[in-house]
A and B are shown apart, each in its own frame.
Chain A
């Protein structure tokens, strides 16, 4: 058995998904305003992403922060690298850097954030423990 199954499951999820968002709640039902803003930015770009709800177990958040050296939730990872939390993701969306990072086209200025659904089903690494 591994020493730290939660951390390993998180690291595996980060490695296995090109775009993965750790958040409070789910993309359909974000449980804080930061989560909602981050989801809106990803959805506005039509980016496919995996999402992990950190709320079911406080250890998820604790181990995630240990991996990322980042104290707050949400956290967006692209290709295994922490891109940032809500502030950075929102700022990068506004400047077009997020689209660039994700290899996507920035939508026209007038386009409202769409209700696009994430293509990947939310992950629940805690269920594998």
Chain B
């Protein structure tokens, strides 16, 4: 079961210079909410920003990570 720290670390590693805050919405380790601030989001649409974060986890979204709610911004 992924932890909030693990998700945070994976996002921040995959998106250099980003800051991520991850909360476990249910305490069950499968519904998370992440707020991600990354310079590379500048000029990207919301859809593209979210795709970028979802891509970090690939097939785990909908699997072990049942739900990952996102809020993204450039700075």
Q: Mark A residues whose CB is within 8 Å of B.
A: 34, 61, 69-72, 82-88, 91-92
Contact = CB atoms under 8 A, between A and B. Distances in A.
B69 A87 contact: yes
B59 to A, nearest CB: 8
Candidate in A34, A88, A92 with the most chain B CB atoms within 10 angstroms:
A88
Given A70-B51, A71-B54, A82-B47, A87 B61 contact: no
B21 to A, nearest CB: 15
Interface of B: 46-47, 50-51, 54, 61-62, 67-71
A88 B69 CA distance: 10
B67 A88 contact: no
A69 B50 contact: no
25 contacts: A34-B69, A61-B62, A70-B51, A70-B54, A71-B54, A71-B61, A71-B62, A72-B54, A72-B61, A72-B62, A72-B67, A72-B68, A82-B47, A84-B46, A84-B47, A85-B50, A86-B69, A87-B50, A87-B69, A87-B71, A88-B46, A88-B47, A88-B50, A91-B46, A91-B71
Nearest to A88: B46
Contacts of B51: 69-70
A71 B57 CA distance: 10
A85 B17 CA distance: 26
Contacts of A69: 51
A123 to B, nearest CB: 22
A69 B47 CA distance: 10
